[in-house]
Structure 1
Amino acid sequence: MKLPGTAWRTIHRIQNRWWDARAVASGYCNARSNPTGVPGEGAGYTHWRCALKRAHEGKHRFRNATWGDDLRVTHEPVQNPPGQPWDRRGTLTLRQERAQRRWLEGQWAQMRERRREAQEA
């Protein structure tokens, strides 16, 4: 069955919310390395969630990627990296999508302004 792209994004968002709720109910930390989805306001991918249990000590970890409160992701390999039983899709949440759209519109406005100034000079 062929569904439009908006339907697939909606399905993936619902799945992500369901898996997030299950992870929190199961006692996982579930912190994100890129909470907003906007470039420069975090690192890593939007579907990364901390795979350690809630109230853990030290950095958050998604497989071999770790990050602290500053959201800077580093690669620290371990033999058997922890993972949650539910992998998320890379689909942005509505909030992340709105924030990313606002950021892109700001970037485009700056680019238009620079071009306008270059033409005037």
Structure 2
Amino acid sequence: MKLNGTLEDLGAVMGTEAAMRLVAVFGGGQLYVPMMADAEHPIALVVGRTPFRHLVATLRGETISVPAAGEFMRLRRVRQVVRLLADGVTVEELARRFDYTPRTIRNIRNEGARMRLIGRCLPHD
């Protein structure tokens, strides 16, 4: 597997939602894909039976490196900060809420501005 990036390949095998669930729970580690698709296997319980069967059919017996969700989570935080600033929450309050410095919140705000995110158009968490 590695035609694209690991996440793209996992999505092609088991679907985007299942791949994202796998990354959210097992991201940043090594994961052994069993030889048999047992419905009670921890992976099946996270991603669902059908996506798990597809994963086993494609990668049975292999150990895969599940990508970490760091970049996804970082960009999600940019979205949260930009949205909350648009709602009138202060930089200082966001720094306390997220346990960041005010400078970090301003840097996140500036990154959102570079991406031209419009806070009031973004969804709330």
After TM superposition, the score normalised by the length of structure 2 is 0.28
Which structure's residues are more often helix, by fraction? 2
